[in-house]
Structure 1
Amino acid sequence: MAQQNGDSKKLDIVVVGGGLVGSLEALYLAKRGHRVRIYEYREDIRTTPQVRGRSINLALSVRGRRALKDVGLEDHVINHHGIPMQGRRIHRLDGTTYVIPYDARTNQCIYSVGRNYLNSQLLKESENYHNVQKHFNHKLIEANLNKGSLTFQKTDTKETIPVTADLIIGADGAFSAVRRAMMKQPLFDYSQQYIEHGYLELCIPADEHGGFQMPANYLHIWPRGEFMMIALPNQDCSWTVTLFMPFTNFKMIYSEENLLEFFEKYFPDAIPLIGKDKLVQDFFAGKPLPLVAVKCRPYHVSDKALIIGDAAHAVVPFYGQGMNAGFEDCTILDQLFQKHQENLRAILEEFSLTRWEDTFAISDLAMYNYIEMRDLVTRPSYRLRKAVDDMIFWLFPSLWVPLYNSVTFTTMPYSRCVENRQWQNKVLLYSFIFVGILTAFGAFLRQ
């Protein structure tokens, strides 16, 4: 299977999953000259409608942008599709709003991008490489990862297709079939956590003139303590609205009357934006879906198989880093291919040994950020801390980078972002103690 071409060994690689991360990884590998075959369970996303309930837009930040730049797509996605979001616009109960900028110092922003559009662009780009093949409607039904062999079944004809490869890369999502096969390996650690909150998607349509009904360049948040609602802008001037709430609360809303009562109590300014009829129709057309976080390690089997993206580290969506972390996997993997000159054993081992700490860290941060978004952003203590962070960042940008900025606007490893935050907490604590001692000592001297 593996072929020699000059001094570089060209590999036969199967990518299971033709979603965002799988399609991106195929481009990275194709650029290196390897033969890549993508096997995807679903139909070609370019020819099928968006599945209801799955977020149609995502937050693209620096880690994801770097990966898109590597494969030549950053400029197109940012300048011809993405909608910049400069900060969070918080909606109070009385309908008034205020803005919390993401980066008051340099005005960096994140971008709302369409999931289908981005996936389509990645697949379209792969058509420029003769060494990439795509196979849709193929379900993985059997895997022997140690031997590099897979068996797929065509979902339309039920025909079984045996496949072998030098390397299998599982990028098939949070409920990965490749990971399920990997779990049979000894010493494989795995855990998953479903939170007690689900999500349900609604929509704010464009206004009668085809424009945005709210200021477009923000992530809008309605924080309500135990639950929240957010809205991200779409390219057609509509908004994808997501209600995150405990399942017990969802169960209490079972009629048009108590749905409208609930929204009039907690989200009154959203009702005219969505429209009463559309709110009722959209709310009862679907059902709240669960949110899961997955942690596992190692990510590889010998020199034959590897999992990346949500297959390796699904996270809850509250830091907007799920896609970005998956894209960063591809960037890191490409760097390891370069470092180890296509030596699969060395590449996969180093990826497993070094990546898990960062993916565990962003998983924990995402869990925490839900509390921040639905509750803490409304508290004076949060706004005071952010003001202090922003002020010190303004004065000493190379020394003091706030947590959100380091996660979103740098490629600092996620684990280092956490360590940096812990150091900042200690500095502020000791500073406050020192100021308190000086104040008390000054008061004592004045007596």
Structure 2
Amino acid sequence: MPKVIIVGAGLVGALNACYFSQLGWDTEVYEYRSDVRELEENSGRVINLTLAGRGRKALEGVGLKDEVVRHGLEITHRLVHYVDETTKAHPIARPGEYLLCIGRRKLNTICLDHAEKFPNVKLFFKHKAQKVDPIDGTVTLTKLETQEKVEVSADLILACDGAFSAIRRSLLYYPRFDYSQTFLEDGYIELRIPEKNGKYAWDPNLAHFFPRGNILLVVFANTESKTFNVTLFAPYTKFEQLDTERKQTSFFKETFPDAFRLLGEENIIQAFKRTKPQPLVSVKCQPYTFNGKVVLMGDAAHAMYPFIGQGMNAGFEDCRLLNECLRQYDFDIAKALDVYSKARPKDAHAINDIALRNYHVLRNTIRGPYYVIRRIIDMKLHSILNSLWIPYPSMVLFSDIPYHKVVEKRIQQDSILFFGMTFIGLVIFAYCIQAIF
């Protein structure tokens, strides 16, 4: 059987291991960090994962969807918190559609455990990737415990080693490889709302949003305890202003009063002491495949801002689509990778742009009447036209419509509404003129 090397045992790498283990391929996974399953606390980011339709479909392909859903919380509504402590709930999408909130570590563990059940899968931790040779199909790594350099080879190499991928970096001088990364002027810090009397302090089945213009606070339930993970997004200039404990606590008290009471002053102070604001990066590149042997996947190919909740979902979709390409072309690796690489960047670039635009929606538009009115119109038209008019959030989150097609359909819908409203306005105007004269 062919052999595949997967660099990175995070979410996308682990799910790829599940797919290739079921194909019977000899599968070796190399990870820079320790085994996440053996850590007392995940050392990676804790920005909550929201598993949507694309991600669930990819998990279904390896028989893990039901297992994952069992460990998650269904989120059907977004609860917007205003400064005066009033709230308003908005549905995430159409009735029956929901996001699944689940811990990163738990999901990673489920995928790794499943892959490791197969005898053709080998997992290697504390192995740091250095470079890849797409001509020979080899990866050079360093064993961190001994500093020994090792070289491994395979028929197919999957780079799933994250936004700052070492494999991708070693390919930067490959002919005709386009690459760009963009950092937001905003960063984020993470806090945690403790449990209250052994229970969640708020409704765990809601996504809590606090839009404040150029500042956004997002709160999701932690599925591995009765706590809430809290993420504050703000310009770096704002974080620089919060340079004393008094300023930090005053900022939360004035800007997010209801969240402030649950967080508490000491919790806020310790969060600012514990970590500095973390950067937010978007990565675009193409092609994704090199010499018919190496393919970039997940964040290594298209890291995106976390404001549409599609980073993991798009990465999982990568796994499913690559598997489908391999099957479609009878496991001709070079042909399958060529087809995959020609199609996927267009969609990945589209979802990167969607994620950035949604940041502005979450910080501003979601508070205003336009957002509510547009949602009502979309739902009414959908009830009349069915699949001919699908609301934008549903297309992004719960369909498998290619992302670039989603953008095209959204533009078409905007144009139809603009001309429709213009026509109605002209009719009303003409009627009023006729009535006057």
Question: Does the alignment reach a TM-score above 0.5?
Answer: yes
Equivalent position of 1:44 in the other structure: 35
Alignment equivalent of 2:160, drawn from 162, 167, 171: 171
CA distance in 1, matches of 2:178, 2:107: 32
Alignment equivalent of 2:80, drawn from 79, 90, 100: 90
Deviations 1:87-145 (A, max 9, x none): 11000001111101113x42311011110011011110112111111110001123212
Deviates most, 143-152 or 363-372: 143-152
After TM superposition, the structure 1 = structure 2 runs for residues 27-66 of structure 1, keeping only pairs within 5 Å, are 27-51=18-42, 54-55=45-46, 57-66=48-57
Equivalent position of 1:320 in the other structure: 309
| Alpha-carbon shift at residue 53 of structure 1 (Å) | 6.4
CA contact (8 A) 1:53 1:201 kept: no
Alignment equivalent of 1:249, drawn from 204, 216, 238: 238
Alignment equivalent of 1:375, drawn from 341, 364, 373: 364
| Alpha-carbon shift at residue 164 of structure 1 (Å) | 1.1
After TM superposition, the structure 1 = structure 2 runs for residues 42-441 of structure 1, keeping only pairs within 5 Å, are 42-51=33-42, 54-55=45-46, 57-79=48-70, 81-103=71-93, 105-208=94-197, 210-235=198-223, 236-441=225-430
TM-score (norm 1): 0.95
CA contact (8 A) 1:56 1:116 kept: no
CA distance in 2, matches of 1:405, 1:234: 24
- Any idea what SS the aligned residue of 2:214 has? coil
- Any idea what SS the aligned residue of 1:318 has? coil
| Alpha-carbon shift at residue 49 of structure 1 (Å) | 3.5
Equivalent position of 1:20 in the other structure: 11
- Any idea what SS the aligned residue of 1:117 has? helix
Deviations 1:319-345 (A, max 9, x none): 000000000000000100110011011
Quickly say closer, same or farther: Cα 1:53–1:337, change in 2 above 3 A. closer
Give the CA RMSD over aligned residues. Answer: 1.1
| Alpha-carbon shift at residue 302 of structure 1 (Å) | 1.4
Deviations 1:241-262 (A, max 9, x none): 0000000000000111111111
Equivalent position of 1:7 in the other structure: none
Identity %: 39
CA distance in 2, matches of 1:60, 1:142: 32
Runs of 4+ in 1 over 3 A off after TM superposition: 49-53
CA contact (8 A) 1:42 1:137 kept: yes
Quickly say closer, same or farther: Cα 1:291–1:56, change in 2 above 3 A. closer
AA paired with 1:142?
K
CA contact (8 A) 1:62 1:410 kept: yes
**Structure 1, gaps ≥5 residues long:** 1-9
Deviations 1:244-300 (A, max 9, x none): 000000000011111111112111111111122112112221110000000000001
| Alpha-carbon shift at residue 351 of structure 1 (Å) | 0.7
- Any idea what SS the aligned residue of 2:110 has? helix
CA contact (8 A) 2:130 2:167 kept: no
TM-score (norm 2): 0.98
AA paired with 2:402?
P
Quickly say closer, same or farther: Cα 1:44–1:87, change in 2 above 3 A. same
CA distance in 1, matches of 2:101, 2:41: 17
CA distance in 1, matches of 2:346, 2:41: 34
CA contact (8 A) 2:36 2:42 kept: no
CA contact (8 A) 2:288 2:297 kept: yes
CA contact (8 A) 1:14 1:38 kept: yes
CA contact (8 A) 1:169 1:306 kept: yes
- Any idea what SS the aligned residue of 1:95 has? coil
CA contact (8 A) 2:42 2:105 kept: no
| Alpha-carbon shift at residue 52 of structure 1 (Å) | 5.1
CA contact (8 A) 1:53 1:200 kept: no
Deviations 1:364-386 (A, max 9, x none): 00000000111110111222111
AA paired with 2:200?
F
CA distance in 1, matches of 2:77, 2:18: 32
AA paired with 1:35?
D
CA contact (8 A) 2:218 2:230 kept: yes
- Any idea what SS the aligned residue of 1:195 has? strand
CA distance in 2, matches of 1:434, 1:142: 60
